Chains A and B, each alone.
Chain A
Amino acid sequence: QKEVEQNSGPLSVPEGAIASLNCTYSDRGSQSFFWYRQYSGKSPELIMSIYSNGDKEDGRFTAQLNKASQYVSLLIRDSQPSDSATYLCAVMYSNYKLTFGKGTLLTVNP
């Protein structure tokens, strides 16, 4: 069974710190990886996608992908209280199904 694993948290960081969110996946054939943010009571919102090994930066967010280790991470620099949410890692498997991890709850303390 194809799986996506995330630490459920909660992960608590002080305002201004770097938050590091991690994800592993089981299918070596996966090509596409996504990070969604979900505020309580709201729908998932795409914040980053990554398809190649290495880093991809967008503002305060950096996604990192290591296909050999089947590992994808999201770094949030200069964390803000408004970043407090559940972060969902999603992997597009070779059968075109987007499989989500159970999410990591991030709390940024002022």
Chain B
Amino acid sequence: DTAVSQTPKYLVTQMGNDKSIKCEQNLGHDTMYWYKQDSKKFLKIMFSYNNKELIINETVPNRFSPKSPDKAHLNLHINSLELGDSAVYFCASSPARDSNTDTQYFGPGTRLTVL
């Protein structure tokens, strides 16, 4: 009965590789997000999708490409991984994007380590 799930939980890879992180939510929410939390614990939004449509695209290298096959899934593909990509990536979801009271619920996170 997990609300927001991510796979994998840990990802260790070499520089230059391409990897993907998957996220699924079973809450029936319309909006999903990707956040990056760096080593100093600063949590920053990367992307947001509302009903499969990209609505937030922060200043993120174009090596990062989100894909939303349906409103319950939001995947993150990263090309040509760099050392600075090492972080914890959190997926989140919320009921609707145009509500000021919208609450976001976070997945367990994926710890990415680039060697």
Contacts and interface: CB of A to CB of B under 8 A. Distances in A.
B15 interface: no
A92 B100 contact: yes
Chain A interface size, as a band, is 20 to 34
B113 to A, nearest CB: 14
A98 B100 contact: no
Given A43-B90, A43-B109, A44-B90, A98 B42 contact: no
Q: Which of B48, B56, B105, B106 has the most chain A CB atoms closer than 10 A to its own CB?
A: B106
B41 A103 contact: yes
A21 interface: no
A43 B41 contact: no
A24 to B, nearest CB: 16
A46 B44 CA distance: 16
B62 interface: no
Chain B interface size, as a band, is 20 to 34
Contacts of B98: 96
A46 B41 CA distance: 16
A44 B106 contact: yes
Interface of B: 33, 40-45, 48, 55-56, 90, 97-98, 100-109
Q: Top 9 nearest A-B pairs by Cβ distance?
A: A31-B100, A43-B106, A100-B43, A32-B100, A44-B106, A43-B109, A102-B42, A43-B108, A103-B41
23 contacts: A32-B101, A43-B90, A43-B108, A43-B109, A44-B43, A46-B103, A46-B105, A49-B101, A51-B100, A88-B43, A96-B56, A96-B97, A96-B102, A97-B45, A97-B56, A98-B33, A98-B104, A100-B43, A100-B44, A102-B40, A102-B41, A103-B41, A103-B43
Given A96-B97, A97-B48, A102-B41, 9 more contacts: A31-B100, A31-B101, A32-B102, A46-B103, A46-B104, A46-B105, A97-B56, A100-B43, A102-B40
